[in-house]
Chains A and B, each alone.
Chain A
């Protein structure tokens, strides 16, 4: 099983600042990597697929990068609605999620 490891577990950032979230795979997943956002009491929502392609309706302040085993989600200027938990997910060899990064104010 491919293990996805996210860091940090919690990230404290102020509105307007930049946030950088990391995700590492235990073996290469090429660019078969997605990022999902989950707010309290809500279902997850796809933000990024193919490591760097924004899903429909996702603001341009969200960007993804990386390939192989190292990936990054960057939120360029945090808005209040961005504070949530973010999960990376690989879909290269079966499907596994990281443990999540909580983005807090």
Chain B
């Protein structure tokens, strides 16, 4: 069974750094792209970027380029989304999803950024 299990909710202050995770199981991790999607509470879905675990090639939507970094650790079948300096506007639920068609989704990680 394919599963994407994300790390737990986070509460951070503006300017802090953060790395959230998406642990994948039930398939060959390096064979499928993993994407990240943002959902501001009460709003729609925004595609942030995507990474191919096989060679760590990452691509970003223009709105998120330079704002976040997507990475993987193949040894533990895990993808990451990280920020070096959070803003209040980063408050949202973040989902990982397998492939560009989002055939499987993680359960989401709520990130709250507040002073």
Interface residue ranges, A against B (CB under 8 Å)? 1, 32, 34, 36, 43-46, 49, 55, 87, 89, 91, 94-100
Contact A95 B105 (CB under 8 A): no
What's the dominant secondary structure at chain B's contact region?
A: loop
User: Closest residue of chain B to A87, judged by CB?
Assistant: B45
Distance of A44 from chain B, by nearest CB (Å):
6
Q: Which residues of B contact A43 (CB under 8 A)?
A: 95, 105-108
Contact B100 A95 (CB under 8 A): yes
Contact A44 B44 (CB under 8 A): no
Contact B103 A94 (CB under 8 A): no
Contact B46 A97 (CB under 8 A): yes
Give CA–CA (A55, B2) in the complex, Å.
13
Residue among A43, A49, A89, A97 with the most chain B CB within 10 A? A43
6 contacts between A and B (CB under 8 A): A36-B45, A45-B105, A55-B103, A96-B47, A97-B46, A98-B44
Contact A100 B44 (CB under 8 A): yes
Distance of A36 from chain B, by nearest CB (Å):
7
Q: Which residues of B contact A1 (CB under 8 A)?
A: 62
Q: Which residues of B contact A98 (CB under 8 A)?
A: 44
Distance of A12 from chain B, by nearest CB (Å):
19
Contact B45 A97 (CB under 8 A): yes
Q: What are the 3 tightest A-B residue pairs by CB atom distance, in nearest-first order?
A: A95-B47, A91-B100, A97-B45
Q: Which residues of B contact A91 (CB under 8 A)?
A: 100-101
